Structure 1
Amino acid sequence: MMGYPEMYNLTCLGASLCCVGALTGLAHQTTSRVGNALGMIGIASGIAATLGVVNVSPETYMQMGAAMSVGGTLGAIIAKRIIISDLPQLVALFHSFVGMAAVLTCVATYLAHAPHWGDDPATIERIAQFLGTFIGGVTFTGSLIAYGKLQGTLSSDPLLLPGRHALNAGMMAVNVGALGYFLMDPSMGAGIA
């Protein structure tokens, strides 16, 4: 990557296009093999580009390799044991992991960067971290509920609480208030809360 910073951007663009092509290809049985291959190429090239541009210690590379090995091994074991009729449950369960990964990434980014922000608390990065945590949390819980309903451990009947619209509006108002508090108070305690 030395001397070729534009290669990183081009590789990320190519990886993104491959992932979009994967989604398009996976939409039809006749193109699903191509879609699967494009997805693998997109993810692998995105990881390779990122590893090529980061400048971390060898110990961190070892930790990253260990985490990828554990995740890959677990994914392979689960994929081998799943029967085709349980695929929707598997997708819902894996999607919950995506939501949790978003939450953990936002929290870790906050812990790493918050001490360097100074007294200017209202930044785009903070908004992105709050929204990433909020959306990731909703994705995590919603996907777990979807998994439970598909697996049959939760009732498939809709839960129609009385006053559910007011309850949802209240929860949204609380989250908007929490975002305002997060943006106005630069302390680490407010951010963690």
Structure 2
Amino acid sequence: MPIHPQNPEPVVPGHTDPASEDAAAPPPSGRPTGRVPATDGQPGVGAADGGPAPSDDEYAAELQELQDRWRRALADLDNLRKRHARELERERKVERSRTAAAFLPVLDNLELALTHAGADPGAIVEGVQAVRDQAVNVLELLGYPRHAETGVAFDPARHEVIGVVEDPHASPGTIVDVLRPGYGDGERQLRPAAVTVAKRE
């Protein structure tokens, strides 16, 4: 009995068999066609997160670097604090020296007045007044002007009430007498003036 060969299925032009195409197509050059599956919810090796996670040694190195930076920052801060303290103390010494030097002429004039204590009493009084005016001028140059005005309104920021008096010639609430002058203004006030105030009606 003659054997008739089976006719192959007709081939459609431009069409290829998917199975044969997959079997014949080589994988991309040097690249794996798949990825290691993820386990326990963690991405597998070669996932799209940028590669494998850093090792324990890399974590330890980064931690050591951060600790070194922290220690250097603490050392720099401590050096800055010490330098600021030294500069502040130096400025204080300079200011004290400048203030003391400003009062040296006052002391010189006081000593000069004492050497002439046996002279005319009127001249001695005039000399002491001149020395007092010189000392007041020094304080004013240092930023502490003298306040000993009468007839002005009472100011609690500049005056300290020592007593209240009745004075028909003074307006109520005004300064009648200054018992102790004040020096300075505002935040630069050395002390307020001690005064008596006219009584309010």
TM-score by length of 2: 0.22
More strand by share: 2
Q: Which has the larger radius of gyration?
A: 2
TM-score by length of 1: 0.23
